[in-house]
C-alpha cells in the first residue's frame, strides 16, 4: 500500500477541521449555557472549556437516555444541555 502526500494532507486537514468544529461547538454551547444559567458568557476560553466539558456530560446523559442529536443543531443542544447540568452542579458545590 502506497500512501501519497495528497492523501496524508487530506487526512490531516480533515482532522484539523474536526477539532476546529469541536472547539467552535464547545464555545457556542458554553456561551448558551452561560446565558441560560446566569445571564452571561465566560469569555472565549471559558466558554470553550465549559462547552467541551458540557459536551462530554451531555453525550453521556444522552447515551443513558437513549437520545441522539440529529446534525449540528442536535449536537449543540446536547452539548449546551450538558454544560447547563455541569454549571448547575458547580453551583451546588460552590454553596
Span 30-68, pLDDT tens digits: 888 888 887 566 777 888 888 888 888 888 888 899 887
d(CA 20, CA 24): 6
How big is the CA angle at 22 (ends 17 and 23), to the nearest 5 degrees?
A: 100
CB 21 within 8 A of CB 15: no
How many domains does the chain divide into?
Answer: 1
pLDDT of residue 4: 58
Q: Is this model's pTM higher than 0.95 or not? A: no
* Three-state secondary structure of 11-67: HHHHHHHHHHHHHHHHHHHHHHHHHHHHCCCCHHHHHHHHHHHHHHHHHHHHHHHCC
Domain span holding position 64: 5-94
d(CA 93, CA 21): 31
Amino acid at each position: 500500500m502506497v500512501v501519497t502526500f495528497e492523501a496524508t494532507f487530506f487526512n490531516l486537514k480533515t482532522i484539523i477541521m474536526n477539532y476546529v468544529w469541536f472547539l467552535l461547538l464547545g464555545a457556542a454551547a458554553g456561551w448558551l449555557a452561560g446565558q441560560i444559567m446566569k445571564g452571561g458568557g465566560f469569555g472565549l476560553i471559558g466558554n470553550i472549556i465549559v462547552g467541551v466539558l458540557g459536551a462530554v456530560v451531555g453525550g453521556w446523559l444522552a447515551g443513558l437516555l437513549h437520545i441522539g442529536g440529529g446534525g449540528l443543531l442536535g449536537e449543540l443542544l446536547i452539548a449546551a444541555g450538558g454544560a447547563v447540568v455541569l454549571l448547575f452542579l458547580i453551583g451546588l458545590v460552590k454553596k
